[in-house]
Amino acid sequence: MLYIVEIPIDGDLTSRMSQMRTWLDHQRCEPGAFRSTSIGGRKVFRVEFIVEAEARAFAQVFGGRVLGAAAA
């Protein structure tokens, strides 16, 4: 199962990505995929996790939401 986290992109994209990468490194998390996309005219990151607890922690720290589990 994959847990998809959606994070809104606000402000400086480079800074936001750096913050996320630093957090992931410190937590020793390795997401399966890291994508940016537009949904309804707004930009978001979608990050896929295998471990639900990691997905929930990431979403909480970065103001995102877990979209749910998707079949791998």
What domains are there in the chain, each with its CATH number?
2-70 (3.30.70.260)
Within its chain, how far is the Cα of 15 from the centroid? Answer: 15
Q: What 3-state DSSP class applies to 61?
A: helix
Alpha-carbon torsion (58, 59, 61, 62), positive or negative: positive
Tens of pLDDT, residue by residue over 21-72, are: 999 999 999 888 888 888 888 888 899 999 999 999 999 999 999 997 654 4
CB of 4 within 8 A of CB of 46?
yes
pLDDT-based confidence at 15, cuts 50/70/90? confident
Report yes or no: 46 and 58 within 8 Å, Cβ to Cβ: no
Q: What is the pTM of this model?
A: 0.84
The predicted structure's pLDDT at residue 71: 45
Mean pLDDT within 7-23: 87
